[in-house]
Amino acid sequence: MNLVLLSLELSLLLLAVLSTRYWFRIFKAKSGTAVFPFHADRCPIEMSLPVILVLLWITLRMMTSLEKLWIQWQEITVLTKPVSLNDVMVSCLTSFSLGVILITSLVLSNSKFVHQSGFRLNEKMGQLRDGFVGFLLALIPVVILLFVTRGLRSEETLHPLFILLKAHPHFSTVIWIFISAVVVAPLIEELVYRVIFQSWLEEVLPPFAAIFISSLVFSLVHGFPDCIPLFPLAFILGTLFYYRRSYASVVFTHALFNGTNLAFALSDPQLPF
């Protein structure tokens, strides 16, 4: 067995054992506050330009995902253009531009938005600790569902970035996939789905419903079968953001998750590095 892959699997096992401590605390207390103390300082987000932009963005992503799912269920053969490195670069630039527009719009509409929505520069270590705990909590249910859904997976259902990595296993490919998956995706997706979408839902729905809906939408836009193991990750991200109101924490959890996936992809013995 590949030595790097074995090391990753052992590390994952040790982290899973560690995560049982936090799950035990949650089950014992029957509340997420056993792990994440409630942070009361929060910014209400009402229907506004940023919310409208996010809803449009999510709708477009959802339509694309459902169209792919429909094609899979109908077993229709469609020739799709493989993702290129240029596509990844354009996607990163587009997502980053969206993030700048959203944050600028929110700050102009509410000067306290940056602090109250979790863009806190203080409590750095505490926010990173919360993010690491969120990753640990997500680890066990995600791994279990990945195992359960292994029969639904094939080369055709691989994430486009991993298909690109297999087709062009170069250093430049790894760097751009890292930027896309571990940097840009956590920063923008947590801003869209947790900071804006979930915060807006919390204004019109009970907390559990807001977390559930935002998690379900986040999972579905990532396509089938990835949406199944992604749901517990999304729900824990939503719960973490609800209790701690820390953008840094959910970004760190998301980045750790994507970074772990990338590490396992890079450990493939068929790749020349």
Contact 15, 253 (CB under 8 A): no
Amino acid at 77: T
Q: Could you read off the pLDDT tens digit of each residue along the chain, which spans 273 residues?
A: 467 677 777 888 888 888 888 888 888 877 777 788 888 877 778 888 889 999 999 999 988 888 777 766 766 554 556 788 898 999 999 999 999 999 888 888 776 777 667 777 777 888 999 999 999 999 999 989 988 988 877 776 777 888 888 888 888 889 999 999 999 999 999 999 999 999 999 999 999 999 999 999 999 999 888 899 999 999 999 999 999 999 999 999 999 999 998 888 887 656 655
The pLDDT value given to residue 218: 96
10 Å CB burial of residue 196 (0-12, 13-18, 19+) is buried
Q: Could you read off the pLDDT of 27-67 as tens digits, one per residue?
A: 887 777 778 888 887 777 888 888 999 999 999 998 888 87
Structure tokens, 196: 């804006």
What is the reported pTM? 0.91
- Cα separation, 205 vs 199, in Å, equals 10
Q: Could you read off the pLDDT of 121-132 as tens digits, one per residue?
A: 777 888 999 999
3-state secondary structure at position 257? helix
- Cα separation, 26 vs 209, in Å, equals 19
- Cα separation, 108 vs 206, in Å, equals 28
